[in-house]
């Protein structure tokens, strides 16, 4: 398996594009994106479990009931949520997209992101879709990634190449997400494409299994969005024998999918609103997987831990505290903590007690962008990772007047 370029266009048969159609006032920002498969694709998705859901989720759920799709269209700048005609707008967006591509409207996945509670005008979308469709390109992943951004400061895309049944396959994805990130079953907007052949049933199984250890372990601010969606399209263009059951090919596909999703998790965490550092908490030696996940997620969600990382202060007591109230079944008298980064690693606590350590060295380690908090529990064989970011003054500034 190796990293390659191309994002959602790395897989054979996929093209993408992103344009500015006029939803956003800033004409330099793309606000409408399209991903297209030149043939029918197996499709699977997971969605937010917030009771308040964007209209596109209801429409996409309906379209994916048969397990197939060919296109994904997404606008930024408006979430199409809590709007009286939201379903109508989402359906019309699918119809316009289908007409431009010559496919069935039921084969279109629709998504939106942006301000909640503001009516979405179909006029700019209708005007932009013809240009969007005509701009589809094998080089269009970056433009599509830009078109789904809101407060993101960097586009997020990744792709890998792997072997399945003797055939070279590719899987790639783009994502958006910077704030309002604390998922239940999905997170932000993530679109993944692959040319591997896999049945809709096995694709759903792969995605459902994967999100439990990736996107569900990601938190920026503790708020679960109304529009969260992760979608995977698999069009089979690589020509491998279709994966229709568990086995070595399914395991390899899962490994490739996980490589992409972990990379996107890290990219999203590293671009949290106002953040200066990405945090990864690695819990090892847990009694079971549930305990490992609960403990790791509690650490990255802690406002005090997040503020500690912003200040590059090795106040490990906040890590202990977060594990202690997490609800995980742990023996805190055996717990240890170390911090690591590109600048090195420093152990600060062992067996429930503090160690003598150099504050200067700790400061150096914690001043890097990517910070790893290692929590050892010595309770059992399970481990888990969670991702988040520091909490800065700018997070409040960004969200204090987000709507206006």
Longest Cα separation, the chain? 68
Torsion angle defined by CA atoms of residues 106, 199, 252 and 186, in that order, rounded to the nearest 10 degrees: 40
In 101-179, DSSP assigns E strands to 108-115, 156-164, 167-176
Q: How far is CA 48 from CA 31, 169, 189, 271, 356, in A?
A: 22, 29, 10, 20, 44
Q: Token pair for residue 4?
A: 């390659």
Cα 83 to Cα 69: distance, rounded to the nearest angstrom:
26
**Residue 353: exposure state from Cβ atoms within 10 A (0-12, 13-18, ≥19):** exposed
Known active-site residue 15 = no
Interaxial angle between packed helices 303-310 and 289-301, expressed in degrees from 0 to 180 and rounded to the nearest 10:
60
SS3 letters for 28-47? CCCCEEEEEEEEEEEEEEEE
Spatial neighbors of 356 by CB under 8 A, at least 6 apart, are none
Cα 219 to Cα 279: distance, rounded to the nearest angstrom:
10
Cα 7 to Cα 16: distance, rounded to the nearest angstrom:
10
**Residue 200: exposure state from Cβ atoms within 10 A (0-12, 13-18, ≥19):** middle
113, 187, 224, 261: the catalytic one is 187
Q: Token pair for residue 349?
A: 């606590």
CA angle 196, 201, 205 (to 5 degrees): 85
Q: How far is CA 135 from CA 87, 104, 128, 355, in A?
A: 27, 20, 11, 59
Residue 235 has a CB neighbour count (10 Å cut-off) of 25
Q: How far is CA 49 from CA 77, 90, 114, 203, in A?
A: 22, 19, 18, 20
Active site residues: 187
């Amino acid at each position: 398996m190796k990293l390659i370029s191309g994002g959602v266009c790395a897989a054979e048969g996929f093209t993408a594009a992103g344009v500015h159609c006029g939803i956003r006032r800033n004409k330099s920002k793309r606000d409408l994106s399209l991903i297209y498969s030149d043939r029918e694709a197996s499709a699977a998705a997971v969605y937010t479990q917030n009771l308040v859901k964007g209209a596109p989720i209801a429409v996409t759920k309906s379209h994916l009931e048969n397990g197939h799709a060919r296109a994904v269209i997404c606008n930024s700048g408006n979430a199409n949520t809590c709007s009286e005609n939201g379903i109508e707008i989402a359906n019309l967006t699918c119809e316009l997209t289908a007409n431009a591509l010559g496919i069935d409207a039921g084969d279109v996945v629709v998504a939106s992101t942006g301000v909640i509670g503001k009516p979405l005008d179909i006029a700019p979308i209708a005007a932009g879709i013809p240009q969007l469709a005509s701009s589809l390109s094998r080089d269009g992943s970056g433009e599509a990634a830009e078109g789904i951004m809101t407060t993101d400061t960097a586009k997020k895309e990744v792709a890998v190449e792997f072997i399945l049944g003797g055939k070279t396959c590719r899987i790639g994805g783009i994502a958006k997400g910077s704030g309002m990130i604390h998922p239940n079953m999905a997170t932000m907007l993530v679109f993944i494409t692959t040319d591997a052949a896999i049945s809709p049933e096995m694709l759903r199984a792969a995605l459902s299994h994967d999100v439990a250890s990736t996107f569900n372990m990601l938190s920026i601010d503790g708020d679960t969005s109304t529009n969260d969606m992760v979608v995977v399209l698999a069009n089979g263009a690589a020509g491998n024998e279709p994966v229709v059951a568990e086995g070595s090919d399914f395991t390899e596909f899962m490994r490739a999918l996980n490589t992409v999703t972990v990379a996107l998790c890290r990219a999203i965490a590293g671009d949290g609103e106002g953040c200066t550092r990405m945090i990864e908490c690695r819990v090892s030696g847990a009694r079971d997987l549930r305990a490992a996940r609960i403990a790791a997620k509690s650490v990255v969600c802690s406002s005090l831990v997040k503020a500690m990382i912003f200040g590059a202060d090795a106040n490990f007591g906040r890590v202990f505290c977060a594990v202690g109230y997490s609800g995980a079944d742990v023996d805190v008298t055996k717990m240890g903590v170390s911090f690591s980064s590109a600048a090195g690693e420093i152990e600060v606590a062992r067996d429930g007690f503090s160690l003598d350590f150099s504050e200067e060295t700790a400061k150096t380690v914690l001043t890097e962008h990517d910070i790893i908090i290692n929590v050892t529990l010595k309770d059992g064989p399970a481990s888990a990772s969670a991702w988040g970011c520091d909490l800065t003054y700018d997070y409040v500034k960004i969200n204090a007047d987000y709507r206006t």
